A and B are shown apart, each in its own frame.
Chain A
Amino acid sequence: MKILIVEDEPKVGNALSEGLQASGYEVTLAQRGEDGFFLASSRSFDLIVLDVMLPGRSGIEVLKTLRKQGLQVPVLLLTAKDSIEDRVLGLDAGADDYLVKPFAFPELRARLRALLRRGKTETIVSLKLGTLEMDLTTRLVTRDARPIELTVREFELLEFLLRNKGRVVSREMLARDVWKENNRATPLDNVIDVHIARLRRKVDDEFEPKLVRTVRGVGFMLSEDERNGKV
């Protein structure tokens, strides 16, 4: 998978580039709007990550021109402005998704996966990690074949973690995707921590190996591996 990143801040650009390369993507980095535009129109990419605030030519302008030329590649906008007008502006210009800075890297990766997956419908009926199994149709959860009672919220939380097994999910992702909370100011961090603690009691306390892991400063991960997984 080839990804073009257009980002003028070198630290951010390099970090994204390294992070995505480590995740197995082939990454090209452009630091100016013009360069990004040239690369996007001359070479083929599977996805473009575009910063809005660029020197010279803004991300929105680059995007509009690309779309005018008929380029269909999915584009994810990075914006520092978290207001509705800016989002609408970006989506109107032809962006497929946007992410507000500062964002968590796991979230960026999740969004990219979702964009690349777009159009391909998957019908998963059950999720599994080690001896932990979840049947999405009967909503039955078992560990070592023993049924585990979960509340609706705990079930959704575990489902999200299972779908992202082996990858770290941030609290922001959980707030938005499990709690459906779009307001970043809502104080959900403590609530999420409590739910994770309860889930851990039910899923891990009486079993080995432990599956629910806390990655300090980033979020949580479901993994059989004892070591901290990659972010």
Chain B
Amino acid sequence: MARFRTTLRTRLTLLYVSLVCVVLVSYAAATSIFLWQGLLREMDLSLDRDLETVENLVAIMPDGSIAVNTGDQEDVLLLEIWSASGALIYQSGELKGQLLGAPVKKDDPSHPANRSIRLANKMWVRIMTRPHKLGNQSVVVRLGVSESTLREQFDQMVEALALGLPIALLLVGVTGYFVARRALRPLGSMARRARQINAEHLNERLVLENPEDELGHLGTAFNETLARLERSFEQLKQFTADASHELRTPLTAMRSVGEVALQNGGDLRYHHDVIGSMLEEVNRLTHLVDNLMILARADSGRIPLQRGEVGLLELATESAVLLEVLAEEKKQSVEIEGDKSLTVIGDRLILRQALVAIIHNAVKYSPPEGSIRVRVGTGNGDALVEIHDSGPGIPPEHRAKVFERFYRVDKARTRDEGGSGLGLSIADWGVRAHGGQIELECKEQSGCTFRVRLPRNGSGNPRS
């Protein structure tokens, strides 16, 4: 359905006016009905009094005829007297032969005591009927009063209400429009400011007039988004800078080794050695590019998980066995224990890559003859793989950053020992892609525990 392309301001005003219109009309209708009923009640009371007076004025003549001593009120009195058997025995002259409704008999339940009728000459009359004893004769007296004045007054009131309604609505509309414009004004300035914020000015924020109101909430949310964007942008810049540095290092090595060899000349053996040294750097570059590719594809969400049931203890054992020789070389002990039946739904290769990276890290940072413990279990309903090393621990200020790309706690660590600096980042991504996370706990001088926490049903949503 095509929508009216109107401003929020106009839509708010229209909505407001329609609501006020409905409320006013209902209110006027209810008031009128209530008022009309009140007026009728009052009329009936006065009719009752009048009837009593008239009853006292009615007399039966010796000849059996009926006389009403109305004095000078004769001309306004609308009076009928019926015999018990239903015969009209008196009618005041003012009625000019018209009946006040159908003929009545005594105790006739089909005639309510009070009602409004319309005479043949279109006049509305309120009538009251009741039995009366005239001497020893039972009669029915029916008295009517014209409703004209009442109806005229009521109609005037309704007219006044009907006339006032559009004026009231117009006023409501105009004020509503201005109120809406005033309330929405900060939105315009926010939009203008937001338009000026771009990649170069990500540190700017929206100015909020009142952070507590709805527009303030919107602005705050927008500012938070900006903060996240700024952070990602910073990380990207840092990453690009780090990546260039990491790429430049082997390039520099190759260049200088090659240039020096060309300058020195030397025998075949020397040249073999030089070429070998350059090829080592090429291998390093290749590994780096492979890892960067994985991260780039992971970032753009282009690595689909091949989910299946994965036995965690088996996977941890397999990962540890792969790296066992490295631990053996350092005379480290590797212990693996845990629940053999514990499984998660996940991508075996990606989870294995994560565990291999963490265990590799543990072997690297644990001292010779140290111990590495891998424990598989559950906690808080999640599946856990804990890898405990006996390294020197990680200072608190570095802990949050160990999963950042190219981050090395010890900047002086050589590349030979430190690897590409991407292993833990890839591990972190892999676990997050499964809806889990890696927690890091360190104790002074007694090593760190990397705790891989995975949702057991595997249905967890990836955490970004």
Query: What string of 1s and 0s marks CB contacts (under 8 Å) between A194-231 and chain B?
Result: 11001000000000000000011110000000001000
Contacts A102-B282, A194-B325, A217-B277 known; A228 to B272 CB distance under 8 Å? yes
Of A185, A186, A218, which one neighbours B276 at CB under 8 angstroms? A218
Chain B CB within 10 Å — which of A183, A187, A189, A228 has the most? A187
**Are B353 and A217 neighbours in the complex by a CB distance under 8 Å?**
no
Contacts A82-B293, A187-B360, A187-B419 known; A216 to B353 CB distance under 8 Å? no
**Are B353 and A186 neighbours in the complex by a CB distance under 8 Å?**
yes
B168 CB-CB contact with A under 8 Å: no
A179 to B297, CA, bound (A): 25
**Are A194 and B329 neighbours in the complex by a CB distance under 8 Å?**
yes
A171 to B283, CA, bound (A): 10
Separation in Å of the B287 CB from the closest CB of chain A?
8
**Are A183 and B353 neighbours in the complex by a CB distance under 8 Å?**
yes
Contacts A83-B297, A185-B426, A187-B419 known; A217 to B291 CB distance under 8 Å? no
Contacts A185-B426, A191-B323 known; A218 to B357 CB distance under 8 Å? no
B349 CB-CB contact with A under 8 Å: yes
A191 to B322, CA, bound (A): 8
Report A-chain residues with C-beta under 8 Å of the C-beta of B360: 187
Separation in Å of the A150 CB from the closest CB of chain B?
14
A166 to B280, CA, bound (A): 21
B273 CB-CB contact with A under 8 Å: yes
**Are A102 and B286 neighbours in the complex by a CB distance under 8 Å?**
yes
Query: What string of 1s and 0s marks CB contacts (under 8 Å) between B353-378 and chain A?
Result: 10011001000000000000000000
B197 CB-CB contact with A under 8 Å: no
B423 CB-CB contact with A under 8 Å: yes
A190 CB-CB contact with B under 8 Å: yes
Interface residue tally of chain B, by bracket? Answer: 20 to 34
A113 CB-CB contact with B under 8 Å: no
Name B's interface SS: helix
A146 CB-CB contact with B under 8 Å: no
Query: What string of 1s and 0s marks CB contacts (under 8 Å) between B411-441 and chain A?
Result: 0000000010001001000000000000000
B109-132 contacts to A (CB < 8 Å): none
Contacts A82-B293, A83-B297, A194-B326 known; A187 to B275 CB distance under 8 Å? no
A194 to B423, CA, bound (A): 20
A146 to B272, CA, bound (A): 35
**Are B279 and A218 neighbours in the complex by a CB distance under 8 Å?**
yes
A33 to B329, CA, bound (A): 51
Contacts A215-B276, A228-B272 known; A186 to B325 CB distance under 8 Å? no
A185 to B286, CA, bound (A): 10
Name A's interface SS: loop
A185 to B423, CA, bound (A): 8
Separation in Å of the B283 CB from the closest CB of chain A?
7
Separation in Å of the B424 CB from the closest CB of chain A?
12
Report A-chain residues with C-beta under 8 Å of the C-beta of B297: 83
Query: What string of 1s and 0s marks CB contacts (under 8 Å) between A175-195 and chain B?
Result: 000010001111111110011
Separation in Å of the B286 CB from the closest CB of chain A?
5
Chain B minimum-CB-distance residue to A179: B322
Report A-chain residues with C-beta under 8 Å of the C-beta of B290: 82, 184-185
A187 to B319, CA, bound (A): 11
Separation in Å of the A53 CB from the closest CB of chain B?
16
Chain B CB within 10 Å — which of A82, A185, A186, A190 has the most? A185
A188 to B325, CA, bound (A): 11
Contacts A217-B276, A217-B278, A217-B280 known; A187 to B286 CB distance under 8 Å? no
Chain A minimum-CB-distance residue to B297: A83
A194 to B357, CA, bound (A): 18
A192 to B277, CA, bound (A): 18
A188 to B293, CA, bound (A): 18
A42 to B196, CA, bound (A): 63
A183 to B286, CA, bound (A): 13
A65-119 contacts to B (CB < 8 Å): 82-83, 102
Query: What string of 1s and 0s marks CB contacts (under 8 Å) between B289-327 and chain A?
Result: 011011001000010000000000000000000110110
Query: What string of 1s and 0s marks CB contacts (under 8 Å) between A114-138 and chain B?
Result: 0000000000000000000000000
**Are A185 and B278 neighbours in the complex by a CB distance under 8 Å?**
no
A195 to B325, CA, bound (A): 8
Of A82, A191, A198, A216, which one neighbours B279 at CB under 8 angstroms? A216
Chain B minimum-CB-distance residue to A218: B279
Give 8 A-B pairs besides A102-B286, A216-B276 with Cβ atoms closer than 8 angstroms: A82-B293, A102-B282, A184-B287, A185-B290, A185-B291, A187-B357, A194-B326, A216-B279
A sample of 26 inter-chain contacts (CB < 8 A) reads: A82-B290, A83-B297, A83-B302, A171-B283, A183-B349, A183-B353, A185-B290, A185-B291, A185-B294, A185-B353, A185-B426, A186-B353, A187-B419, A188-B322, A189-B283, A190-B326, A191-B325, A194-B328, A216-B272, A216-B279, A217-B276, A217-B277, A217-B279, A217-B282, A218-B276, A218-B279
